[in-house]
Amino acid sequence: MPRELHKTMDINLIPLLPAAQVLLTALIVMILDLFFKENEKGTLAWISLLGLALGGGETVLLWGSQEGAFAGTLLLDNFALFFTQIFLGAAALTILSSIHYIREMKIPEGEYYALILFATVGMILMAAANDLMVFFLGLETMSVAVYVLTGMWRSSARSSEAAMKYFLIGAFATGFLLYGIALIYGATGATNLDDITAYLIDPQDEWPLYLVGGALLLLVGFAFKVGAVPFHFWVPDVYEGAPTPVTGFMSVAVKTAAFAAWVRILMHSLSPLDSDWAFPLWVLAIATMTVGNLLAITQSSVKRMLAYSSIAHAGYLLIAIVSGEEWGGVPLLFYLLTYAFMTMGAFAVVTCLADAGAAPEDYRDFAGLGFNRPFLGMAMSIFMLSLAGFPPLAGFVGKFYVFRSAIFAGYLNLAIIGVLNSLLSVVYYIRVIVSMYMHEGGAPAKIFRQSPYLYSAIVISVFATLYLGILPATFLEWSRVAFFSLY
Amino acid sequence: MFGAMALLLVPGNQMRALFSVALISSGLTFFWSLQLFYLFDGAQGAMQFVERAAWMPAFGIEYIVGIDGISLFLVLLTTLLMPLAILASWSIQKRVKEYLFFMLFLETGMLGAFVALDLFLFYVFWEVMLVPMYFLIGVWGGERRIYAALKFVLYTMAGSLLMLVAIIYLATRHAQITEVLTFDLLRIYQLHLPIDQQIWLFLAFALSFAIKVPLFPFHTWLPDAHVEAPTAGSVILAGVLLKLGTYGFLRYAIPLFPDATLLAAPVFIALSVMGIIYGAVVAMMQDDIKKLVAYSSVSHLGFVMLGLFALNMQGIQGSLYQMLNHGLSTGALFLLVGMIYERRHTRLIENFGGLWKPVPLFSTLLLIVMFSSVGLPGLNGFIGEFLILLGAFRVTPGWTALAASGVILSAIYMLWMFRRMIFGPVRHVENEKLQDLNAREIVILAPILLLIVFMGVYPKPFLDRMKPSVDLTLKRFATIQTAPIAADHAPGTP
């Protein structure tokens, strides 16, 4: 793997540009928050969006670069840029859906936006990290911010409980990761991914057994972060308790960040160890899909259902990971892209329903929505059908690509199990549509939050879901370019 | 050419709430498809009007559409039934706009599935159809509509998802053997896989299509879906959607996996005949007219499957012909049932009786349609069934004899229903003042009746155009048959 260009010791700040941009915005938001009066704080959202947009512009300009910084611990390649764009997009959609929501929930605005931006910085670092320590730094930046975000709805006991749970489990997972990193360092004498790969390809002597152990510990840490079964117990409670836009943010951006690091670290750099974890991963993928889908069927709350469905989707993504670097890499990236939009959209619709006091997220709260609010109904139907994998929507192309990768890689059984799981998922996704269109009435007096920002977030997601489903060619190419920039 | 046009035509009009727009749109589609009929070169068996465009080049997926003698008539059937079905849904009061949107959306999906020549494209259309049909049953259906709609979706999805795996696997094999990554059907036809792989792939495809047909014992979703669907939904479901299953067999499962087909043919013949008898017997027991017609569909589609798996000219031609017949006659039956239901709001046979006196026109038309469905000589049903039995007899005389008894059974349940509904004294007071058919309803039924008679008297123009394409399918079959199995490993056996 000839990639020496970033190994120089000079301090190159360019690769840090998008992250720095977002960080700067976060700091500005925090400072201005002190000076703004209560009724002026809406401006903060716009400042945050502006910062994200600038960051997005920078990633577009930097597209195609291949630069390292800080002695090769940070690497700005298309892979990092691809994920940076997803994070920025998800953060922007989250902020758009939050503007009215947090005001009504009495969540402090300045801190909220700043935390989202901080979390985004952490994710960008995770995707760009070429060193286990930098990756860990990014992970912690992201996690701490998201712990706080989860508990920001202070008047709700559920929210506080979720934050506590998330923090404890997160700390536990961090322990696994750190221990894994330590073992790998002990075995290879390096934390830089290139050095580790170099060691693995040409080891001086036999691999020590604890190297494999360290890698497996990393695997467990990642499995916690993406909510793979059997490390998923925190997911439903945390997702349900968190403020809805934050749930969307968690289930899209946090998960994507974890997968980005997974791809770069485990799938790519530690790929010589593939044979050691192929089987555990295979079991993990099947368990994650099946348990996620089966439990999703039994839920009565749409938000909890979406939490379990996000577990199931982590399972589909694991199929791509099992398929290995050669076949699974590009599908994984593309799937994450499609998943981001349809899930953000679905949570945005749920946000529309949320009332200040109670949490009306049951299926029956969706009754009649389809005809009372044709736009919301249509949007939700599109997201649900896309998540279930109906053509010609984004979710179908993503799934098609993932199953295809499994078949190409010789895992026909995995593809068949995945397909049967999609069938299971149809049951509960369709239930939402049934409630919306086929049960009359519901609670007619319900106030659906009318927010133009929220609606624009939904419109963007609908458009992206349709576009990625019908004309995916350009984005497939992007995912391909992004993935192969790892080499 | 045609599929693209239909696609362009339909979405443009979807959002208008007016029936007339929907009518004009579907009528225009019919007009275009008629044009196609005239431009179609009946002497050629290959695909015509082929259009192709790159769609997802990274996967070798293309947009390829085209028609041959097999799909031409099914396309025509679809475009003919669609405006009639829209016209028949005049009484829909609820959410008219959405209703029409889904109807046209459904038409797009069905036409797309008939003309698609790329496996991926076919799958997309195949699945796209599910969504509007689901809504049509679930929103505008009868009392148990939600249950019926969910059952419909789950059954169909279960089959088609496995087909998706099979499609991908097929393309993978093709890529490995010929180094060309493509989902182009005509190129994948050239592939000749070893028999064990063929069997699995055939089963995956066949399961999907058998559920759609529905072949006994995969039929249990059908009566529920039919009974709960609105009239137009039933018409389209019986008239076109079920044909997609048999079409799938003829276009995909049989020619793609000839060796497996040969192996499986006896099983499928047995299942078809069981379906024929079972459908007929159960139909006889029904007291709900719509359910009766639904089970008669199971029986009739059994004939179609029997003809297909006879794997000879008469059988397949008869099947194709019977597909059209069934679309017309069962479509008409559902329309008639819908009309009487609108008047009386009941579908139980016992609530009728002696209808001849109050509604003579209705009764006459019902009689004609029924005779067509039973297969009375001189009407279309006879020719189809006769050809099928002729073809099947050459293969399996025993099963064919059994199947022929299904014809008799169908005569029994149809005539019995007719006697109970139409003849005798008027037993219910409500029935005395029934209105006979109005002009709109006559307009709906007239084209179907004309075709029923025309196709019964003069089938030549239809059979002639089918023949070359069926020939081509069978020839492909014959060459692969004669090729020794040792050719398995020779890539791309022509």
Are the C-beta atoms of residues B214 and B298 closer than 8 Å to each other? yes
Q: What angle do CA B49, B52, B56 make, to 5 degrees?
A: 155
| Among A112-116, A266-270, B39-43, B312-316, the least confident range | B39-43
**C-alpha distances out from residue B446 to B242, B382, B443, B461, B466, Å:** 23, 20, 5, 20, 25
CA distance B200 to B213: 20
CA dist list (Å): B470 to A121, A178, B9, B51, B111: 63, 67, 31, 22, 20
Q: List the single residue in B55, B150, B161 with the smallest CB-CB distance to A430.
A: B150
| Chain A interface disruption, residue of B105, B168, B173, B203, most A CBs within 10 A | B168
| Chain B residues with CB within 8 Å of chain A CB | 54-59, 95, 98, 120, 123-124, 127-128, 130-131, 134-135, 138-139, 145-146, 149-150, 153-154, 157-158, 161-162, 164-165, 168-169, 172
Mean pLDDT in residue range B96-103 = 74
The backbone torsions φ and ψ at residue A66, rounded to the nearest 5 degrees and listed phi first, read -145, 75
Distance from CA of A350 to the nearest CA of B (A): 22
Quote the CA–CA distance of B305 and B246 in Å, as a whole number. Answer: 7
Domain ranges of chain B: 1-256, 263-457
- Do B148 and B164 touch, CB atoms closer than 8 A? no
Distance from CA of B164 to the nearest CA of A (A): 8
Measured between beta carbons, which residues in chain B are less than 8 angstroms from residue A480? 58
Cβ contact (<8 Å) for A390 and B130?
yes
SS3 state at B312 = coil
Query: Which chain B residue is nearest to residue A411, measuring alpha carbons?
Result: B169
Q: Which of A80, A77, A79, A73 is CA-nearest to residue A11?
A: A73
Q: Which chain B residue's Cα is nearest to A403?
A: B165
Which pLDDT does position B494 carry in this prediction?
32
Structure tokens at A333: 């990236």
| Record: contact B165-A423, CB cut-off 8 A | no
SS3 B65: strand
Residue B481: name the closest of B317, B304, B311 by CA.
Answer: B311
Tell if the CB–CB gap between A434 and B59 is shorter than 8 Å. Answer: no
B220: its two tokens: 């249990």
CB contact under 8 A, A390 and B169: no
Print burial letters for A325-338: b (CB count within 10 Å at least 16), e (below 16).
Answer: bebbbbbbbbbbbb
pLDDT at A409: 84
Q: What residues of B are in contact with residue A390 (Cβ under 8 Å)?
A: 127-128, 130-131
In the predicted model, residues of chain A with pLDDT beneath 70 are: 1-11, 203-205, 354-361, 440-450
Give the integer Cα–Cα distance in Å for A146 and A124: 14
Q: How far is B145 from chain A (nearest CA, A)?
A: 9
Minimal Cβ distance to B168: which of A391, A397, A407:
A407
B235-to-B27, B39, B88, B333, B365 alpha-carbon distances in Å: 17, 28, 10, 8, 17
Q: Do A434 and B138 touch (CB under 8 A)?
A: yes
CA distance B476 to chain A (A): 28
- Span B101-109, mean pLDDT? 78
The pLDDT of residue A6 is 47
Interface contact A371-B95, CB threshold 8 A: yes
- State how far residue A105 is from chain B, nearest Cα, in angstroms: 36
Coil, helix or strand at residue A386: helix
Q: pLDDT higher for A66 or B247? A: B247
User: Which residue in A420, A423, A473 is closest to B57 by CB distance?
Assistant: A473
- Label residue B479 by pLDDT band (50, 70, 90): low
**Subunit contact B59:A404, Cβ cutoff 8 A:** yes
Determine the residue among B118, B129, B131 to mutate to test chain A binding: the one whose Cβ has the most chain A Cβ atoms within 10 Å.
B131
Q: Which residue among A391, A397, A426 places its CB closest to the CB of B128?
A: A391
Residues 6+ apart with CB under 8 A from B199: B257, B260, B263, B264
Q: Is some CB atom of chain B closer than 8 A to the CB atom of A104?
A: no
A chain contacts of residue B54, beta-carbon cutoff 8 Å? 473
Amino acid in the structure at residue A301: S
Tally the residues of chain A.
487
Q: Tell how strand A74-76 and strand B48-56 pair up.
A: unpaired
Question: For residue B491, what pLDDT band results from cuts at 50, 70 and 90?
Answer: very low
Looking at per-residue confidence, does A356 or B389 come out higher?
B389
According to the model, what pLDDT value does residue A26 have?
86
Q: Which residues of B touch A420 (CB under 8 A)?
A: 161
Q: Is the pLDDT of residue B278 over 90?
A: no
What integer pLDDT is reported at residue B12 of this predicted model? Answer: 41
Numbers of helices and strands, H then E, in chain A: 20, 2
- Our CA-based measurement puts residue A410 at a distance from the nearest CA of chain B, in whole angstroms, of 10
Structure tokens at B323: 């597909």
The C-alpha of B142 sits at a distance from chain A's nearest C-alpha, in angstroms, of: 11
Name the one residue in this structure whose structure tokens are 């007239």: B446
Average pLDDT over residues B147-155: 83
Identify which of A422, A438, A480 has the shortest CB distance to residue B146.
A438
A36 close contact with B: CB closer than 8 A: no
Centroid of chain to Cα B279: 17
CB contact under 8 A, A426 and B58: no
Strands (E) located in A302-427 = none
Q: Check if A408 contacts B (Cβ < 8 Å).
A: yes
Chain B interface includes A452 (CB < 8 A): no
Return the pLDDT at B383. 83
Contact A403 B138 (CB under 8 A): no
Burial degree of B438 (CB within 10 A; 0-12, 13-18, 19+)? exposed
Q: Name the residue among A445, A39, A35, A466 with its Cα closest to residue B128.
A: A466
Give the model's pLDDT for residue A5: 47
How far does the CA of residue B174 sit from the closest CA of chain A (Å)? 12
CB contact under 8 A, B128 and A480: no
Residues with Cβ < 8 Å from B482, sequence gap 6 or more?
none
Give Cα A253 distance to the centre of its chain.
Answer: 3
Q: Is the pLDDT of residue B39 over 80?
A: no
Spatial neighbors of A347 by CB under 8 A, at least 6 apart, are A97, A244, A245, A247, A248, A251, A306
Residue in chain A nearest B139 by alpha carbon? A438
The mean per-residue pLDDT over the stretch B379-389 comes to: 82
Contact B127 A390 (CB under 8 A): yes
Q: Distances in Å between the alpha carbon of A26 and those of A43, A118, B287, B399?
A: 13, 6, 71, 78
- The one-character DSSP state at A63 is T
pTM, entire model:
0.84
- Tell me which long-range contacts B400-404 makes (C-beta under 8 A, separation of at least 24): B400/B306, B402/B273, B402/B276, B402/B277, B403/B272, B403/B273, B403/B276, B403/B277, B403/B302, B403/B303, B403/B306
Condensed to tens digits (0 to 9), the pLDDT of residues B415-463 reads 888 888 777 777 777 777 777 777 777 888 888 888 888 887 787 777 8
* Average pLDDT for chain B: 77
Sorting pLDDT into bands at 50, 70 and 90, what band is B493? Answer: very low
Q: What are the chain A neighbours of B157 within 8 Å (beta carbons)?
A: 422-423, 426
Task: Say whether B58 and A477 touch across the interface (CB within 8 A).
Answer: yes
What residues of A are in contact with residue B165 (Cβ under 8 Å)?
403, 407, 412, 415-416, 419
Cross-chain residue pair A430–B153, CB shorter than 8 Å: yes
Residue contacts between A and B (CB atoms, under 8 Å): 79
Phi, psi for A37 (deg, rounded to 5):
-80, 170
Residues of B within 8 A of A476 (CB-CB) are: 56, 58-59
Q: Quick one: CA dihedral B268, B269, B273, B274, positive or negative?
A: negative
pLDDT confidence of residue B7: 46
Stated as kind and residue range, the H or E segment containing A76 is strand A74-76
pLDDT of residue A257: 92
Residue A4: what pLDDT?
A: 47
pLDDT at residue B242 is higher than 70: yes
Contacts of B174 in chain A (CB under 8 A): none
SS3 A192: strand
